[in-house]
Amino acid sequence: MLKAFFNIFKVPDLRNKILFTLGMLAIYRIGFYVPLPGVDQQELSAHFSAMSGGDAAGSGIQQLTEAFAMFTGGNLQQSTIFGLGIMPYISASIIFQLLGTVIPALEKLKQEGEAGRKKIQEYTRYATVGICVLQAAFWLKYIQGSGLVYSDYSNFQSNFWPTLSFWLIGLSTMTAGTVFLMWLGEQIDEYGIGNGISLIIMAGIVAQMPTAVIWVAQNATIDVSGDAQMGPAKIVFLLLAFVGVVAGSILITQGQRRIPIQQAKQTRGRRVWGGQRHYLPLRVNHGGVMPIIFASSLMIFPSLILDWLANLFPDSGFLRMIATEFNRSSFLYAISFVILVYFFAYFWTTVQFQPKEMANNLRDYGSFIPGLRPGKRTADYLETVMTRITYVGAGFLAAIALIPQVIAATLNIPLNVSSFLGGTGLLIVVSVGLDLVQRIEANLIMRNYGGFLGDGGGSRIKGAYA
């Protein structure tokens, strides 16, 4: 493997792509720490530190900002120029993907090939700017109302022009930060290697790992009693659990259900063409991390809404009890989360996987599934198979998402440490890492080098199949 790693730097084109990608990610990490003008960073840090042990509403807001940082590559708790991260662009992309299935004009654009894709990309960029302005306005309103800005910018009535300048600078800066991140991702796509947007998100997640390792090192002890916060047994368990969860994540990410495909034979003169046997790979985890992202984002709001209602009606013990039951360590939260993961897994698969279109494409290319007639029978079969394997994939997603909460509550360790034992962040890192390794391997093999994980042949990355 070490020899294959050094082969990367023997290929000038591949070496330049990797160095360019690393340079773009370094620019992103530098901008990650540039503060937003007018925000009192010390007060902001103290505000979120106090929230960690506060009421359900404060805890819910902190969970919202932590989840936002995990999914987007930004961090509202620091309120920097990249505070919104890349989430507005991701949201706009998801919106146009969903609209493409219900609006005929967008669906027609998708079928026009590269020209249609560029047009949809242009619409996505415009929508990104609008979402940025909306999200930045909500965030500036929150920090201004919480007294987290300097006094000159706290009130329109007493300081109209300074406050107006703060809002204009804040909106334009946060919007420009997200647009710049979007541009960085596109530059990585064109001149670097890997998916630029995904690499930015992965870089933000991996950058949090040293904090977790430092916490474990600072609290490590040789005390073998069960009361020790980070005794040898807990440290060994965390290491083994990390390896096991990563291995399971790789297995399910690469997992496929291979459907045998037979190509019809065609006779041209005295020669017979076709007749080869192929496989149609259906991913077990077709929705990727999107079901967890949707479910996690949605589960933050019940706690906020119920706590607001409980404060509005202080005499209602029922509302207070329900608000308490919707914290992350409760059984009701876990059950609701699993249900939402299954719902969004099937919803995302329904939107992305089109069995009728796939069956028509097989028929047009002269291929068929043995034992099934082309057309409706093939489409029904593909839909049935995808429904069954989605059930397994959604179960894995639910389990991997609940592991951090279970371990944090059981071992009494912070969630930012246990989050590397599962959850959305780990799945994103595994998925993006596998994609990056496969692209590097493809570049090496194309230039007659062995694969990144060996000398080629059987050591190449392959999809596990059921």
Inform me whether the pLDDT recorded for 340 exceeds 60: yes
Q: How far is residue 421's CA from residue 387's CA, in Å, rounded to a whole number? A: 28
Which residues, other chains included, contact 248 with Cβ-Cβ below 8 Å and sequence gap of 6+? 396, 400
Domains identified in the chain and CATH numbers: 1-207 (1.10.3370.10)
pLDDT tens track for 158-202: 777 888 888 999 899 999 999 999 999 989 989 998 888 888 888
pLDDT tens track for 269-327: 667 666 678 888 888 888 777 787 777 767 777 777 777 777 777 777 777 777 777 77
Written as six digits, the tokens of 454 are: 């060996």
Q: H or E segment at 375?
A: none
Written as six digits, the tokens of 356 are: 């009728």
Inform me whether the pLDDT recorded for 458 exceeds 70: no
Which of 22-26, 247-251, 330-334 is most confident?
22-26
Torsions phi, psi for 266 (to 5 deg): -130, 135
Inform me whether the pLDDT recorded for 414 exceeds 80: no
Q: 3-state class of 154 per DSSP?
A: coil
**In the prediction, which pLDDT does 202 show?**
85
- How many alpha carbons lie under 13 Å from residue 454 in its C-beta half-sphere? 7
Residue 409: pLDDT band with limits 50, 70, 90: confident
Q: What percent of the chain has pLDDT over 90?
A: 10
The helix-helix angle for 12-31 and 423-446 (nearest 10°) equals 160
Interval 399-420 mean pLDDT: 79
The sign of the CA dihedral 202, 208, 212, 217 is positive
Tell me which amino acid residue 402 is.
Answer: L
Tell me which amino acid residue 321 is.
Answer: M
Inform me whether the pLDDT recorded for 1 exceeds 90: no
Which residues, other chains included, contact 150 with Cβ-Cβ below 8 Å and sequence gap of 6+? 38, 39, 40
**In the prediction, which pLDDT does 126 show?**
92
Tell me which amino acid residue 75 is.
Answer: N
Which residues, other chains included, contact 61 with Cβ-Cβ below 8 Å and sequence gap of 6+? 51, 304
Q: 3-state class of 282 per DSSP?
A: strand
**In the prediction, which pLDDT does 176 show?**
93
pLDDT tens track for 57-113: 445 555 566 665 665 656 666 678 888 888 888 888 888 877 877 888 888 888 787
Q: How far is residue 95's CA from residue 97's CA, in Å, rounded to a whole number? A: 5
Written as six digits, the tokens of 30 are: 């530098």
Interval 421-427 mean pLDDT: 74
Inform me whether the pLDDT recorded for 456 exceeds 50: no
This prediction has a pTM of 0.79
Inform me whether the pLDDT recorded for 137 exceeds 70: yes
Burial of 42 (0-12, 13-18, 19+ CB in 10 A): exposed
Written as six digits, the tokens of 86 are: 């890349």
Q: Identify any residues that bridge with 259 across adjacent strands, giving them in sequence order.
A: 280
Kindly report the length of the chain.
466
The helix-helix angle for 317-325 and 290-312 (nearest 10°) equals 160
Q: How far is residue 268's CA from residue 54's CA, in Å, rounded to a whole number? A: 77
Inform me whether the pLDDT recorded for 56 exceeds 50: no
pLDDT tens track for 114-135: 888 888 889 999 999 999 999 8
- More reliable by pLDDT, 360 or 7: 360
Inform me whether the pLDDT recorded for 457 exceeds 50: no
Residue 57 CA: distances (Å) to CA of 48, 139, 322, 327, 405:
12, 16, 13, 10, 19
Least confident window among 56-60, 137-141, 168-172, 243-247 = 56-60
**In the prediction, which pLDDT does 318 show?**
77
Residue 136 CA: distances (Å) to CA of 86, 175, 298:
13, 7, 20
Average pLDDT of every residue of the chain: 80
Q: How far is residue 248's CA from residue 338's CA, in Å, rounded to a whole number? A: 19
Which of 28-42, 152-166, 290-304, 410-424 is most confident?
28-42
Torsions phi, psi for 308 (to 5 deg): -65, -40
